[in-house]
Amino acid sequence: MYIHLGGEKIIRAMELVAIFDISIEQSSKLSKQFVAGAMKRKDVEVIGEEESKSIVITKKKVYYSPISSSTLKKRAHSFAAN
């Protein structure tokens, strides 16, 4: 199954590791370090031109999505239930 992250970006559900609200970037030193490391490795992708609302972590990349974390989590859980 696949999960639409916004724009034209779709990932395989099995690649998904975590979905976070964008606010975690400001509130957690560890998340800042994690994203900084991903940026250094060029493993970060910003989806679309809208303001990012969530951070999606996959096995290979970090995505900044314009879709809220709650909506993305609902999409991910609907696939897990099937």
Q: How far is CA 13 from CA 25, 26, 27, 30, 38, in A?
A: 23, 27, 27, 25, 20
This prediction has a pTM of 0.88
Residue 81 in this model has a pLDDT that exceeds 80:
no
State the Cα–Cα distance between residues 64 and 54, nearest whole angstrom. 6
Q: For residue range 26-52, list pLDDT tens digits in order.
A: 888 998 899 899 999 999 999 999 999
